[in-house]
Amino acid sequence: MAILVTGGAGFIGSNFVLDWLTQSKETVVNLDKLTYAGNLRNLDPVKDNSNHIFVRGDIGDSALVATLLARYQPRAILNFAAESHVDRSISGPAEFIETNIVGTFRLLEAVRAYQASLAQPDASKFRFLHVSTDEVYGSLVPNEAAFSESRRYEPNSPYSASKAASDHLVRAYHHTYGLPVLTTNCSNNYGPLHFPEKLIPLMIVNALASRPLPVYGDGQQIRDWLYVKDHCAAIRVVLDRGRIGETYNVGGWNEKANIDIVHAVCALLDEMQPRIDAQPYASQISFVTDRPGHDRRYAIDARKISEELDWKPAETFETGLRKTVRWYLDNPEWVREVQSGAYREWVAQQYLDVSSTP
């Protein structure tokens, strides 16, 4: 028995692989292209685990995917592979189109041929689980109801548009070809192994390096925050008991404004690793020009997965954030290694326009 995980060296994918292998003896075939956000160091705890097979490659490489499917005969495929950073999609959308749309299409084609070749009962037991985002739903006004699974798609960035397209392809392959698919749309994840271009790890890393803490616009953009290991648990539940063809929204019931997140990170760092000069880390906050098309609010209605599959997050935002900050404090070598010259240049360019007030 085996599963194939795509994008399993990235943030969410590597957390999923690590958690899976602590709870199951089932083999994980891990396919990852190892772009800037894919990091083999994330998988160090399982580098000697015979149940973990890592393959460097692209989901758009149809021949490679077909070979892996034929060789390992997985009972399920979990597709985490994606370009996922909104800011990067604005400055360079082509890679998002290629990976998130074209790559997903080619993966689905290979999977469709593989599933059709399986004998019963393996064919009917097979599952393709597609991991997506709440950003496909667009933006909410302050008092609007949270995103449900029936919400109309209204993507507002090249990233969210490319993920919306991939969601539609997955749905179409189920309705047209009968591929047994499941889709999850999650809210903002945070936790260990998060590449430091996203809000929480960027604030931690910059604070400890005595650099400005860049906050877009007025900092009042609201997101729903989900601890990554809670997300991994939800995916396992959906894979095990989810209804074929269904979408499940996965959220943490934690709506927070970005500026409040930054202050929460600063407060934990003040407690856990105070500055040498005893000044608060919040003094490093700098407001920068807002990004184009910045969605104002996301919120997930996670009642469906709770009521149908009996899942709910184990962590509160407070407990999850404390664990996250602790992890970054305990793993400075990991942080140093992922901060390549290319990463530093990108951050410097992205947050060039720094001011002291919103």
CA distance 185 to 249: 5
How far is Cα 58 from Cα 43, in angstroms, rounded to an integer? 18
**Which one of the listed residues 83, 135, 301, 315 is annotated catalytic?**
135
Tell me whether residue 159 is one of the annotated catalytic residues.
yes
Residues 89 and 92: their CA atoms lie apart, in Å, by 5
Say whether 295 is catalytic.
no
* Catalytic option among 58, 114, 137, 159: 159
Active-site option among 134, 167, 197, 301: 134
State the Rg of the chain over Cα: 20
214 closest CA partner among 288, 270, 283? 288
The answer to whether 60 and 40 are in contact (CB under 8 A) is: no
C-beta of residue 203 within 8 angstroms of C-beta of residue 209:
no
Burial of 342 (0-12, 13-18, 19+ CB in 10 A): exposed
Active site residue 343: no
Side chain identity, residue 65: V
Active-site residue set:
134-135, 159
